[in-house]
Amino acid sequence: MSNKLTQSEKDALSTFPPVAQGFCTFVEGFADYELEVFVLELSIQLARVCEAAAKLPYIVAESRSESELEIGKPTSDSVAAHTERWRELRLKLQTYLGNADHYWKVFDPTTEKDPVEGMLSDDIADIYLDLQDGLNLLASGAPAGDAYFKWRFDFRAHWWRHAADALKTTLAISDLALPENFEQDHASGNGNVE
């Protein structure tokens, strides 16, 4: 990696792998949480990983050409394995989330179109796999620049949309789960926030 990085860029690089690992570990342990707790914690994890990803500086891939990492020429076996990992995780999350899995969104807010259905299980699985792919690159001994390039590219080209939709949805679900008198109690100063 380049020695021309600023201190804040170096900090962003050192911060991202543990944040990515934290998100992946959280998702892997989803079944350990009550649904309401999981949804609230997911909103926190999404905000944290988005902040860390948005700060990633542009890093040139070290061992492969950028076009190979961006476009990739995956083998049919690697695509099939990736698709199977995504499918397994998405189905487990879909079962766990139940009715909380589906939400409505406007696909392109710049046009007047009908809303389309989204699924938290799809959002989470896509983000998880993109983060895990970078972690696997680091663990494989590949140059760190390859992982950072992939993480930044995947965030900006793909999973930020999933994260934005999932964050909006998890916050809405969390608001719906609040006790009926929560807002009234807190507006009058009677609430106790810990």
Q: Determine the average pLDDT of the residues in 9-23.
A: 97
Q: Give the mean model confidence (pLDDT) for residues 5-14.
A: 94
pLDDT at 81: 86
Q: Looking at the whole model, is its pTM more than 0.85?
A: no
Q: Which are the contacts of 41, defined by CB distance < 8 A and separation ≥ 6?
A: 26, 33
Fill in the DSSP letter of residue 159: I
Structure tokens, 151? 């993480």
Q: How far is CA 168 from CA 19, 20, 66, 131, 184, in A?
A: 20, 20, 32, 20, 23
Higher pLDDT, 169 or 116: 169
Phi, psi of 115 (to 5 degrees): -65, 155
Q: Sorting pLDDT into bands at 50, 70 and 90, what band is 191?
A: very low
Domains in the chain, start-ordered, CATH in brackets? 7-177 (1.20.120.1550)
Question: Is the pLDDT at 164 greater than 70, yes or no?
Answer: yes
Name the amino acid, one letter, at 45.
Answer: Q
Residues 76-105 pLDDT 10s:
567 788 889 999 999 999 999 999 999 998
- Whole-number pLDDT of residue 194: 41
pLDDT at 82: 84
Alpha helices in the chain (DSSP H): 7-28, 35-54, 66-70, 76-97, 120-139, 144-154, 160-176, 182-187
Share of residues in the chain with pLDDT > 70 (%): 81
pLDDT surpasses 60 at 136: yes
Q: What is the pLDDT of residue 62?
A: 78
